[in-house]
Amino acid sequence: MNKKNNNEIILGIDPGFGRIGFGVIEKRNNEWQAVCYGCIETNAKNCFVDRLEEMHKELLYLIKKYQPQVAVVEDLFFAKNVKTAIKVSQARGVILLTLKQAEIKIIEVTPLQMKQAITGYGRAEKNQVQKMVKLELKIKKNIKPDDAADALALAITGIAIRKSY
C-alpha cells in the first residue's frame, strides 16, 4: 500500500460480524486526535459469506482513505455463545487478512490489556473506558455506539505498544 501520509495514524478495530467498531486516530501537533470513528454494519439479510465480503470491502475503503500505519485489533477473549464466537473468529480472520494484505502492522490485544492500558485497571467498566477515551482524545460528546468507543480505546492502546512491534 502506498503511504502518502507522513502523520502517525492508528486504526482500532473491535471485531464482530454484524457490527465492527472502528476508530482512526492521528498524531497532530504532538497530540493524538480522533479523525473518524463508527461502525461497519453488515446486512443481516445477507448470507454470512456475503457479510464477510462486505466487511472486507468496507475495511479496505477505510484503509485507503486514512492510510494507517498500525492497526490494533481486539483479540477474542471469551464468549458465552459458541456459535457467535465462531462467527466473530471468522470475521477476525477476514479483518486480519485484509490488514496483512494492506501491509499494515497489526497489534492484537485482549479486552483486559486494553482496559489496563486505558484506565490502569484491567477490569474497568465500559463507562470508565469511555470517559478515559473522551479525555485522551478531547471528545466532548458520548461516543456511540459502544463498538466505536472500544475501537478508539484500542487505537489509544496502540500508542503505547506500537513501537515494540
Q: Which residue type, as a one-letter code, is found at position 116? A: Q
Q: Residue 3: inside a domain, yes or no? A: no
Residue 1 lies in a domain: no
Hunting for cell 512491534 — which residue is that? 165
Sign of CA pseudo-dihedral 50, 70, 77, 35: negative
Q: Specify if 4 maps to a domain.
A: no
Cα Rg of the chain, angstroms:
15
- CATH number, domain of 82, equals 3.30.420.10
Q: How many domains is the chain built from?
A: 1
* Helix, coil or strand: residue 93: helix
- Residue 2, in any domain of the structure: no
**Of residues 14, 26, 136, 150, which has the active-site annotation?**
14
Range of the domain at 78: 9-164
Instruction: Give the pLDDT of the chain (165 residues) as one tens digit per residue.
Output: 444 556 899 999 999 989 999 999 999 999 999 999 999 999 999 999 999 999 999 999 999 999 999 999 999 766 678 888 899 999 999 999 999 999 999 999 999 999 999 999 989 999 999 999 999 999 999 999 999 999 999 999 999 886 665
Q: How far is CA 101 from CA 1, 72, 150, in A?
A: 9, 15, 24
Q: Is 150 a catalytic residue?
A: no
Active-site annotation holder among 31, 50, 54, 74:
74
Verify whether residue 14 is a known catalytic residue. Answer: yes
Active site residue 74: yes
